Amino acid sequence: MSKRFTWLLSFVSAGALTALVLVGCGSPSSSTASSSTSSTSSTTSSSTTTATATATAAPTVTACNQLPNFVSASPVGDFFGIQFPANTVADGVIPPTAAAGQFQIVGANFCTNNSTTQLTVTGGHGSVSFLAALLFEGWAHATTFPFDGYLQQACSTGTTCFSNTGNNDQLAVQNITDNGHGVISYRLVYASAPTTPTCNSNFTSSPTPGFFPFLTGFTPPVPLPPLSRLSPDSAAGIVGTDICSAGTVASVTTFMTHYLAAAGYTKVASDGRCVYTAECWTSASSALSWNVTDPTNWLIAYHHS
């Protein structure tokens, strides 16, 4: 992230000199008082001059390499095939290793010289803003992003999110900042999708195609692991949903345990609405239970109350 300098001005206050005037002979002369006043005025004037000089000493940023994050930055290379504006540099970031069933999150800071906050990109689609150019490169606007690698979270102010339907990857462009003199800094966070699960025909022919980050119909909605597909599977007295998710039995179990609690659910020993007593979870308004022995075909279900 880009940093800005702030400068602290220190002002020196001259102390007032107090003369004790004695009545009668030996009283201090008026020239002495005048000299003291002149000295005080001189000290105050000197302090003000020093403060003014300090205030005007703040450096002006005219190039990316003057920003702290980009002192040793180099021209941008290939960052997941994204086309950047000319005169762009980046700091180096080593991508972390993602766990099973998790998006791999890679972030890097970028800075473009001689530009504006539009970050104009010139290519086969003409000259358009950087965010618009992404739409020509297979990206579509999105409202959520898996910032922690697992849960889809709302994109906050200052962040523009995209998804790539071709490979399920996601992208967030954050904090586009004008540092003056055409120096524009910003951050990109790239989420590489985990391996798409191989789901059976129940999911490929499901009336609810696509991936679902939450299971609605519950209050609050139930969070689901990355790349989860759904297929209705209800029976007499039971409402059930088959789920096919990326990852392993362990990763799905870890996800559900952590994020159900984060969403406001509590694991209980028993509830008449739970089908699977080993994983019975309730909130103030809902109850559900789940069972996973295969990440590509597991179940969330509950009894009618």
Which pair of structure tokens corresponds to residue 67? 């920003």
Mean pLDDT on 64-88: 92
Q: Is 50 exceeded by the pLDDT of residue 30?
A: no
Catalogue the E-assigned strands of the chain.
74-75, 88-90, 104-112, 121-123, 126-128, 140-142, 144-145, 153-154, 159-163, 170-178, 184-192, 214-215, 222-223, 229-232, 238-244, 266-268, 280-282, 287-291, 298-303
Which band of pLDDT confidence, cut at 50, 70 and 90, is reported for residue 243? very high
CB atoms within 10 A of CB 63: 16
Phi-psi region of 27 (alpha: psi -120 to 50; beta: other; left: phi over 0): beta
CA 236 to CA 59: how far, in whole Å?
73
Per-residue pLDDT tens for 251-268?
A: 999 999 999 999 999 999
* 220 confidence band (pLDDT: 50, 70, 90): very high
CA distance 213 to 302: 20
Q: What is the mean pLDDT of residues 280-290?
A: 96
Report the distance separating Cα 180 and Cα 115, nearest Å: 10
Reference 247, options 150, 144, 146; nearest CA is: 150
Listed residue (83, 113, 127, 133) closest to 184, CA to CA: 113
State if pTM tops 0.75: yes
Scored b (16 or more CB within 10 A) or e, 25-62 reads eeeeeeeeeeeeeeeeeeeeeeeeeeeeeeeeeeeebe
Residue 42: pLDDT above 70? no
Interval 57-68 mean pLDDT = 85
Pick the range with the lowest mean pLDDT from 2-11, 42-51, 296-305. Answer: 2-11
Residue pLDDT, tens place only, 113-132: 999 999 999 988 889 999 99
* Model confidence band, residue 225 (pLDDT cutoffs 50, 70, 90): very high
pLDDT category at 191 given cuts 50, 70, 90 is very high
- pLDDT band of 47, cuts 50, 70, 90: very low
129-175 pLDDT tens trace: 999 999 999 999 999 999 999 999 999 899 999 999 899 999 999 99
Lowest mean pLDDT among 18-22, 91-95, 228-232: 18-22
Percentage of residues in the chain having pLDDT higher than 70: 81
> What's the pLDDT at 305?
63
Average predicted confidence (pLDDT) for the chain = 84
